[in-house]
Amino acid sequence: MTNAPAVKLDRLTKDYGRLRALDEVSFEVQAGEVFALLGPNGAGKSTALKILVTLSTPTSGRAEVLGIDVATGPRRARSVLGYVPQQLSVDGALTGRENVWLFAGLYDIPWGQRNERVRSTLDLLGLQSAADRRASTYSGGMIRRLELAQALVHQPRLLVLDEPTVGLDPIARSDFWERIRELRKREGMTVLLSTHYMEEADAFADRVALLHHGRLQAVDSPKALESKLGAGKNLEDVFRAFASDDQESATGGWRDVRATRRTAQRMA
């Protein structure tokens, strides 16, 4: 298992009634990579992530995290990964410290280690000075860092991020990615994320996978995909090349817009 890829999807399929959200998707993420899932709303990105973090089960196919089948070993899988969802996961009535302490308990960190683990994680994310303030007083950038602290308190080997910078201003987005860069350098952590910000994927991802209508369209480094379209092309051009046939899907439906705007408002 030690040489297993950090993530492996093998013909992963997910049906919701007559809707096929994922259609035999296969790819691997190597240990230490930053790997980005790209695609319009409804492409299957969040569905794939939810299966990987054991919040959903596949209809068929297989998903593995560090050699662990997430369907047959969900508890083991959760012990080696951290997850930051798009929706707000912080309790505003609790302090920053209390929020991270809660997750330390959920991850079964031994009682005798819990105080130090919570303290060191808050310090790592630059939140120690605000640790005893209610999270409702935090800025959007601080909330995202607190959610990172929640996901990292058990020292996972894989970090899964679903639209991690939605609703953040440019300064907060830059700070967030600087923290991720530092964590990756310090811990050798694998990062799997979904994002609609093509410039983020271009700047930070080693490789990207582009999904459309639940199917895998391409997997490669941003530069390699851009070069296939010709000189002067960027990842936005790659995205449009694969998703331009369905503008309704690309812009998302009413529920997608409502969920994104609610998250953005709460992060502001």
CATH code, domain carrying 52: 3.40.50.300
Helix or strand run (H / E) with residue 220: strand 215-220
pLDDT tens string 132-166: 999 999 999 999 999 999 999 999 999 999 999 98
2 within domain boundaries: no
List of the chain residues with pLDDT < 70: 1-2, 244-268
CB atoms within 10 A of CB 105: 12
1 within domain boundaries: no
- Token reading at 246: 């369905």
Quote the pLDDT of residue 261: 46
Nearest to 68 by CA among 85, 81, 87: 81
Number of domains making up the chain: 1
Dist CA 262 CA 260 (whole Å): 5
Quote the pLDDT of residue 229: 87
Quote the pLDDT of residue 185: 85
Task: Compute the Cα dihedral for 191, 227, 46, 74 and give only its sign.
Answer: negative
Quote the pLDDT of residue 232: 84
| pTM of the predicted structure, to 2 decimals | 0.88
158 within domain boundaries: yes
Nearest to 42 by CA among 213, 219, 227: 213
Dist CA 37 CA 184 (whole Å): 18
96 near 138, Cβ under 8 Å? yes
32 within domain boundaries: yes
Its domain, for residue 237, covers 7-267
Nearest to 5 by CA among 45, 25, 33: 33
